[in-house]
Chains A and B, each alone.
Chain A
Amino acid sequence: MLLKKETHNIQTKLADYCKTGIDVTIEGSRQDRLHHYRRLTYNIVKGALATAYPIAKKTLSENEWFTMVDSYFANHKMQTPLVWKMPFEFYEYCKDNKYSEKFGKPYIDELLYFEWLEIELHTMEDMAIPVYKEEGDLLNDRIVVTPEHELVGLEYPIHKFKGNDLLDKKGNYFVLIFRKKDTGAIRFINLSAFLALTVQTIVEERLNLADSIKKTSEAFGIDFNKSIQHGLAFANDLMAQGFILGYEI
């Protein structure tokens, strides 16, 4: 390394000051101007997080939000060179540091994750779509779905209720989030546990709709003949909304 330890230490001092805002004396610098660097770097991180997590920011008190933001900026070493990906590290940091427990708001992690997912699915690289045909038999042909999607299981219905209203609603909730192929827009669909499992078997086990509903019905102890109509209507809706693209060739 051609850089001297001394110069490295000076650079570290300035970077640490930006992260913590704790006053520092740096040789050969104008003390009255150092604060601009703290302000500029902090504003970038604060702004990117506020943009990524508008609902979480609004749901938490100002004090809680900035406790998380300040601690993250001061202590976490932000790894990604891409600012748009940086808020994911904030979600992980908050989860690892158990802010949901500290603030008595057990839904925080899920709320952050949910907001991040919307960004990720909207922005992530396009995934390969298998060749498919648009005409087919919805019950018996194998279905092709839009690849940029996530089936999310939640303990708190953060997509339906806000803040303290969530506290007594702990349960099992499922949401299908996906990117529409034509517009790139993100769609959210609430699912029952039954429909969530149906989607999962279609996507992961590549069962056709009929087999998937059969398997799910068995798992839930429901009569297949009763659930098939419901499942078919649901699949038609998924097709209309753009999650189901067509049928395997």
Chain B
Amino acid sequence: MSISGVGLGFRRDIAKQIIALDSNRPKFIEFAPENWMQMGGYWKKKLREAAEIYPIMCHGLSLSIGSPEELDFEFLKELKKFFDEFKPEVYSEHLSYSKCDNAHLYDLLPIPFRQDAIDHVSERIRVVQDYLERPLAIENVSYYTPVAAEMDEASFITQVVEQSGCNLLLDVNNVYVNAFNHGYNAKEFIENLPLDKVKYIHMAGHEQVSPDTIIDTHGQPIIDPVFELFEWAIGRIKPVPILLERDFNIPQMAELQAEMAKLQNIVDKVWANEYAIEKRNS
């Protein structure tokens, strides 16, 4: 992996600023291909300018790997074309479904944690990886209620990763949100995941909407307990890129840079040895 360090989500609201940054730049940018595909004009120009400066990660929205129906090969074809141009280092998607019975919903619904769903999703991941000729990293998502679950979430994720041979995008904030919402132990949960498969990490803020419910909004700064969980978690993982996700209530760039710096400090501290080894080897 050639990308390391902390990156930032590339959104229209801050596109110009990210392109113009001359110091404290993110190490890479991440965007949803769906928000930039089949475009031209002003926005495509901005994306190309950004791609000249930053390495790229793509984090998809509409693949809907957990859909009960057939994969959309027309979409995959477009995606492949897009990747040919922008060459993302990692393509990740959510372990959820956002399309059902031939209708997109554009948000992440929880897949029932069941064996037949594992078989179904794993098969779909294999097809996608074969078609795109690149590995897929799937992300653990926030969910607000289990749906007809026959096993716990960690077992579900682990089996999908093992059966499909895909990679894992560990969203530390999502683990925190789910642990809070469903009353389980976040560290135990992380320990039960196939951590050797983690190729990418997401960090974000959230919003508590009631005494027992947190919604994963990406609209607030990261809270301290999530930073702590992050520090603990990365001590168990080989160095991978880290993304700061911020989709709403986007603050001044300086505030985002400070948040990235805080993440970078933790990363440098925990992975100092690994980084030294990597450097020596290269």
Given A83-B34, A123-B41, A11-B106 contact (CB < 8 Å): no
A29 near B40 with CB under 8 A, answer: no
B174 to chain A, nearest CB (A): 15
The 8 Å CB contact of A41, one of B62, B107, B213, is B107
Of residues 66 through 114 on chain B, the ones whose CB sits less than 8 Å from some CB of chain A are 66-68, 72, 75, 97, 99-107, 109-112, 114
Asked if A85 is at the interface (CB within 8 A of a chain B CB), the reply is yes
Q: Give every chain B residue within 8 A of A84 (Cβ-Cβ).
A: 35, 39
Stretch from B14-22, B146-154, B255-263, B268-276 contacting the other chain: B146-154
A28 near B105 with CB under 8 A, answer: no
A178 to chain B, nearest CB (A): 11
Stretch from B1-9, B116-124, B226-234 contacting the other chain: B116-124
Of residues 1 through 53 on chain A, the ones whose CB sits less than 8 Å from some CB of chain B are 1-4, 7-8, 10-12, 14-15, 18-19, 26-30, 33-34, 36-37, 40-41, 44-45, 48
Asked if A183 is at the interface (CB within 8 A of a chain B CB), the reply is yes
Given A123-B41, A124-B40, A184-B42, A11-B103 contact (CB < 8 Å): no
Contact with A along B186-227 (1 / 0, CB 8 A): 000000000000000000000000000101000000000000
Given A41-B107, A44-B107, A11-B100 contact (CB < 8 Å): yes
B106 near A77 with CB under 8 A, answer: no
Q: Give every chain B residue within 8 A of A8 (Cβ-Cβ).
A: 68
Asked if A78 is at the interface (CB within 8 A of a chain B CB), the reply is yes
B184 to chain A, nearest CB (A): 14
- Cα distance A79–B146 when bound, in Å? 27
- Cα distance A78–B62 when bound, in Å? 12
Total of A-B residue pairs, C-beta within 8 Å: 151
Q: Give every chain A residue within 8 A of B101 (Cβ-Cβ).
A: 12, 15, 77
Interface centre among B66, B120, B145, B181 (most CB of A within 10 A): B145
Q: Give every chain A residue within 8 A of B102 (Cβ-Cβ).
A: 77, 79
- Cα distance A44–B107 when bound, in Å? 8
A7 near B68 with CB under 8 A, answer: yes
Q: Give every chain A residue within 8 A of B116 (Cβ-Cβ).
A: 2-4, 7
A35 to chain B, nearest CB (A): 9
Given A11-B68, A15-B105, A126-B146 contact (CB < 8 Å): no
Q: Give every chain B residue within 8 A of A7 (Cβ-Cβ).
A: 68, 112, 114, 116-117, 120, 148
- Cα distance A122–B44 when bound, in Å? 10
B42 near A185 with CB under 8 A, answer: yes
Q: Give every chain A residue within 8 A of B112 (Cβ-Cβ).
A: 7, 10-11, 28
- Cα distance A127–B104 when bound, in Å? 28
Asked if A204 is at the interface (CB within 8 A of a chain B CB), the reply is no
Asked if A97 is at the interface (CB within 8 A of a chain B CB), the reply is no
B180 to chain A, nearest CB (A): 13
- Cα distance A34–B109 when bound, in Å? 10
Which B residues lie at the A interface, using CB under 8 A? 34-35, 37-45, 61-63, 66-68, 72, 75, 97, 99-107, 109-112, 114, 116-117, 119-120, 123, 144-149, 181, 213, 215
New contact pairs (6) apart from A3-B68, A11-B68, A125-B40, CB-CB < 8 Å: A44-B105, A77-B103, A79-B103, A86-B106, A122-B42, A185-B42
6 smallest CB-CB distances across A and B, nearest first, come from A184-B42, A126-B40, A81-B62, A15-B100, A77-B103, A3-B120
Which A residues lie at the B interface, using CB under 8 A? 1-4, 7-8, 10-12, 14-15, 18-19, 26-30, 33-34, 36-37, 40-41, 44-45, 48, 76-86, 122-127, 148, 179, 183-185
- Would you mind naming 8 contact pairs between A and B with Cβ atoms under 8 Å apart? A3-B119, A7-B116, A14-B100, A19-B105, A36-B144, A44-B105, A124-B38, A125-B38
